[in-house]
Amino acid sequence: MAEKAPFHRIAAFLKHRLTAWNTSGEGIHSPYLFELVRFILRDGNSYYCFEDIERRRELLLACPDEIEVVDYGSQGSPEGRKVTRRVCDIARTHLERPAVGQALFRIVNWVSRQEKRPLSILELGTSFGITTAYLAAPDSRNRVVTMEGSREVLKVAQGVWRALKMENIEWMEGPIDDTLFSTRAHVRDGSPSLPESLDIAYLDANHTYEATMRYAACLLPKLTEKGILIIDDIHYSEAMERAWNELKADARVPTTMDRSHVGLHLEGPHPLQRHRNAKM
């Protein structure tokens, strides 16, 4: 399967380009989703934090330091695989593209405008904390909890957040299958790590069918009335595409959006059954 994955991703991208619709939001009758689509896809503004976050990315891409990484990733090993890698190599292969991070920023910013209150945000898969920074940047009152299995990777991410002066990020270290499902999991100050409810959950961790379905089953009940579950790499492999298709058909998910690289599950009162599987 690993050898087929790159070819699968190319085919999935081409299929998406040929079948995507509603890229302008036209034809969507719900004002809620219409504004979301237009806000995310049509917003070309470069916000105040983008330059600072991207400067941290550039430094990571130029850093030759070696660290020991515990990889729980797409191979799905419960023990993890320890390897020594350069920071720059990890940054080049594992960090999300700027467009993805900036889309996450816009989603959080938009939900904050809608709710007019601090948000509760969870990220599965910290990496070097670049996407975490985009999730945390829209409002310092928002609470962002992020989970990372590798201690040395998490230390690099903490340095990124310190440089950006972001103090609304909490972290959990350890295998996500332990931390996400543990009632005793704690963050840096010893307080319970998982909020009772979530406004936004971003899943970018173990890219296997089993893990994706397991994490989604845990997170969906925690979403607020208008909560959003964002799943990364939905066309990464045939297994991830199967997970995405099954989640699209889940009765608990009123509406989904396929953004090629990521998929959005939207909870709450969205009268959009006719648009539940929109590609954009």
Write the DSSP symbol of residue 15.
H
Q: What is residue 135's three-state secondary structure?
A: helix
**Position 1 pLDDT exceeds 70:** no
Tell me the pLDDT band of 2, cut-offs 50, 70 and 90. Answer: very low
* Cα first-last separation, the chain: 27
Average pLDDT, integer, range 58-75: 86
Per cent of the chain over pLDDT 70 is 69
Nearest to 266 by CA among 15, 34, 22: 34
- CA 13/CA 265 separation, integer angstroms: 20
Average pLDDT, integer, range 112-130: 94
Q: For residue 18, what pLDDT is reported? A: 38
Average pLDDT, integer, range 71-76: 58
pLDDT averaged over every residue in the chain: 79
Q: For residue 266, what pLDDT is reported? A: 62
Tell me the pLDDT band of 170, cut-offs 50, 70 and 90. Answer: very high
**Position 273 pLDDT exceeds 60:** no
Tokens of 156: 């690099």
Q: For residue 267, what pLDDT is reported? A: 54
**Position 272 pLDDT exceeds 60:** no
- CA 104/CA 98 separation, integer angstroms: 10
How wide is the angle at C-alpha 166 spanned by C-alphas 162 and 167, nearest 5°? Answer: 100
Sequence-ordered list of residues with C-beta below 8 angstroms from that of 138, at least 6 positions apart, any chain? 105, 108, 109, 112
Q: Are 105 and 137 in contact (CB under 8 A)?
A: yes
Count how many Cα atoms sit within 13 Å of the Cα of residue 87 in the half-sphere of its side chain: 22
Q: For residue 195, what pLDDT is reported? A: 79
**Position 19 pLDDT exceeds 90:** no
Please state the pTM of the whole predicted model.
Answer: 0.81
**Position 86 pLDDT exceeds 80:** yes
Rg of the Cα atoms in the chain: 18
Q: Are 231 and 208 in contact (CB under 8 A)?
A: no
**Position 247 pLDDT exceeds 90:** no
Sequence-ordered list of residues with C-beta below 8 angstroms from that of 147, at least 6 positions apart, any chain? 122, 123, 124, 125, 126, 171, 172, 174, 176, 179, 180, 205
DSSP string across 84-97 = EEEHHHHHHHHSPP
6-15, 28-37, 49-58: segment of lowest average pLDDT:
6-15
Q: For residue 192, what pLDDT is reported? A: 47
10 Å CB burial of residue 202 (0-12, 13-18, 19+) is buried
Phi first, then psi: give them for residue 180, nearest 5 degrees.
-65, -35
11-25, 87-101, 162-176, 216-230: segment of lowest average pLDDT:
11-25
105-119, 120-134, 184-198: segment of lowest average pLDDT:
184-198
Average pLDDT, integer, range 162-174: 95
